[in-house]
Amino acid sequence: MFTLDTPLARIAGIGPGFLAKLKHLGVATIGDLLYHFPTRYEDFSQIYRIADLEPGQHATIQGTVEEITTRRTWQKHFIVVEATVRDDSGSTRIIWFNQPYIKNILRPGRLANFSGKVAVSQDELYLSHPTFEPVSGDARDETRHTARLVPIYPETRGLTSKGIRYLIQPILKGLARPPEWLPGAALRMNRLPELHHALQDVHFPERIEDALAAKRRFAFEDLFLLQLENFAQKMKLARTRAVQIKTDIPLLKRIIAELPFALTASQKRSLWEILQDLEKGRPMNRLLQGDVGSGKTVVAALAAISAAENGRETAIMAPTEVLARQHFETFKKLFSHISAVREPKIALMTASDTKLFYENGLESPVKKGELREKVRRGEIPIVIGTHALLEESVRFKSLGLVVIDEQHRFGVEQRAALSRDARSGRRAKATFTPHFLSMSATPIPRTLMLTVFGDLDISTITELPAGRKNIVTKIVAPENRPKAYEFIREQIARGRQAFVICPRIEKPEQDGAEKSFRAREWSALEVKSVKEEFEKLSTTVFPDLRVAMLHGQMPASSKTRRGLASGGKPNKEQVMRDFKDGATDVLVSTSVIEVGVDVPNAVIMMIEGAERFGLAQLYQFRGRVGRGEHQSFCFLFTESGAKSTHERLRAIVEAKNGFELAEIDLKLRGPGEFLGERQTGLPDIAMRGLQDVELIKASRASALRVIQEDQHLNRYPALQLKLAEFQKKLHLE
């Protein structure tokens, strides 16, 4: 007998080649294999009489091979195996392509099942390329490929559904009844099949309902573990101590009154939710979500001021250097309006050498080591940077608040790195954990909020600041491209600026190997690239305008070490600054400008290969314009004539807000694409479960029940183990 943990290598009859293929699928144990689920089932359960076959049918027949031959087609491209098979009612022809070995298996006189499509040629019916399975004719014969509901598996190169079925059936027979680890109450309340039934039914169901019930159970498994993990994380944080940051309400009111604009109602509400969390003695774990341009930064800045007034530092992390610098500038500008408190010192710290330090209204460069020393001594209340802030050498004296921009949540690693104690460098176990605030403009659909982000508290900015103009959005047909360029030229003549976004940096090399690639790869060659578009726009379309390009392969900034410039090579920092200063008219870029960049004078967002981007992403691109007083425009270009592409893009034109798009994106592309597989760490089946609101609610209720009555799962040792495994998988990202 085997258990789920038995390595497949221990099973007799699986060759090393096959094992390697399985490993490629991430399948090493029997459990892995049995959790490799079919994507669908073919219903071949009924055996038809040959005389009753009808064209177009998917059917199984049982008959004896009368004759079997092979021949080459006249173009010599194919080897055709042709058989005649007879049952009591009559005989039919069967044809296979390029499988000459079949002739050796199905010798004349052999009885077999054949499942496949009934085709018709010159008024004669035949079975085209059926799966087959020799049988004995005994009614108790057990089949796996024919005459039943046949599982169809996701296949990879060289590993067919047939191969997997071949393997799984005997394994299910030899499997010791696996222990049930889901609590009995959860099974009963949600009418879920037990594990050993579910394993049988998901692979070789008697009825399709059994297969569906089994799949529902497996989706539930992951959702349930996810919910348990969320509750566990929440409780863990609730046991951790954090510094209390008290809000000085009258002072805060004076500061808000000094801002150059009035806060929107939901900015105020979000700020209030955050400030209330900061007063508690346990760490905040909150996501601030709001559309592009809804004004998340100022909310974070006000929280940072409050922390500074309490003698605590705030670290603000941005995903790119360009964005970190922009935050730095925004904070400077914001604070210049404020006289109610002494302007806090702000530092910018990124991996490149450009570090700046701001004090008493003056900006001055500072050496990296010196800056780190000041941070360690707690002299700088607000430190803005990239992930460089996570480096071992960066320590804070008394870090009170960490803000991470354009990310949904902190990873476990990031959290640990930021909780390091300033003196010892060890994790601050006995001391304090900072408060965590993440900010994101990608709205999270409700189902994901309940599950993948169930451990977070959420604040939402629901409205844009007053006076924002609607952005005119158009899908532009290829023949109207010249008109669009003409329009851009007019806008630039009026002093405005334009973005052009391309899906890739450069045209892929087209060597011999690549030429023979599949059609999909071919179409990739036609996707517009930044380098080509830059070339075209700067030399042919707009030779008289100032065109620049920006992409991720460019150096982040010029090296200032030892006073050397980087040899005049363009760098991201400089290109972005020029664009912000109005020194360039058109910026051709990849998605590096996706997040957060603020250039109010840019009024045109032109997106090439729009079908290559997710809706939520396109929405964010569009949010780069419409930030100033001028009417703005977004032009979507696509080479794809597909109706589905146009429907998808129409959603952008019509959507009222990002939430709507997020829901559509989730439906159309699934959670994997939406979040990026790595962000969730969830297997496929749970991913599909994420679209099932009822199942999510059920799993949440069951998890809550278990954790409320037995916080440490002492009464559920099997569940405990399973959860530990799941946590490992989840946090391995």
* Residue from 175, 248, 251, 164 nearest 203 by CA: 164
Q: Rule CB under 6 A: is residue 443 a binding residue for ligand ADP? A: no
What's the min distance (Å) between Cβ of 579 and ligand ADP?
16
Judged by beta carbon, residue 316 or residue 547, the one nearer Mg ion is 316
**579-638 residues near ligand ADP, rule: CB under 6 A:** 596, 598
- Name residues whose C-beta falls within 8 Å of residue 128's C-beta, 6 or more positions apart in sequence: 95, 116, 117, 118, 119
Interface ranges with Mg ion (CB under 5 A): 596
Q: By beta-carbon distance, which residue lies closest to Mg ion?
A: 596
663 binds, among ligand ADP, Mg ion, none (CB under 5 to 8 A by kind): none
Q: Rule CB under 6 A: is residue 178 a binding residue for ligand ADP? A: no
Q: Label the pairing between strands 399-405 and 435-440.
A: parallel
Q: Rule CB under 6 A: is residue 411 a binding residue for ligand ADP? A: no
DSSP, collapsed to helix, strand or coil, labels residue 497 as strand
The Cα–Cα gap between 41 and 201 comes to 11
Q: Rule CB under 6 A: is residue 441 a binding residue for ligand ADP? A: yes
Partners of 440 in the beta sheet?
289
Contact 716, 710 (CB under 8 A): yes
The Cα–Cα gap between 618 and 594 comes to 9
Report the residue from 50, 59, 175, 298 that binds ligand ADP according to the rule CB under 6 A: 298
Q: How many CB atoms lie within 10 A of CB 390?
A: 17
292 binds, among Mg ion, ligand ADP, none (CB under 5 to 8 A by kind): ligand ADP
Give the Cα-Cα-Cα angle 468, 551, 405 (nearest 5 degrees): 50
Chain centre to alpha carbon of residue 153:
23
Contact 403, 297 (CB under 8 A): no
Judged by beta carbon, residue 300 or residue 549, the one nearer ligand ADP is 300
Judged by beta carbon, residue 461 or residue 685, the one nearer Mg ion is 461
What's the min distance (Å) between Cβ of 539 and Mg ion?
35
Judged by beta carbon, residue 300 or residue 698, the one nearer Mg ion is 300
Q: Indicate the helix (H) or strand (E) that contains 390.
A: none
What's the min distance (Å) between Cβ of 265 and ligand ADP?
10
Judged by beta carbon, residue 296 or residue 551, the one nearer ligand ADP is 296
What's the min distance (Å) between Cβ of 586 and Mg ion?
23
- Structure letter (DSSP) for residue 8: G
Q: Rule CB under 6 A: is residue 62 a binding residue for ligand ADP? A: no
Contact 680, 671 (CB under 8 A): yes
Q: Rule CB under 6 A: is residue 296 a binding residue for ligand ADP? A: yes
What's the min distance (Å) between Cβ of 596 and Mg ion?
4
Size of the site for ligand ADP (CB under 6 A): 17
DSSP, collapsed to helix, strand or coil, labels residue 319 as coil
The Cα–Cα gap between 61 and 684 comes to 35
Q: Rule CB under 6 A: is residue 440 a binding residue for ligand ADP? A: no
Place of tokens 């460089």: 388
Report the residue from 150, 225, 292, 475 that binds ligand ADP according to the rule CB under 6 A: 292
* Residue from 232, 234, 228 nearest 182 by CA: 228
Partners of 42 in the beta sheet?
150
**465-494 residues near ligand ADP, rule: CB under 6 A:** 465
**248-267 residues near ligand ADP, rule: CB under 6 A:** 261-264, 267
Mask for 307-326, x = binds ligand ADP (CB under 6 A) = --------------------
Binding site for ligand ADP (CB under 6 A): 261-264, 267, 290, 292-298, 441, 465, 596, 598
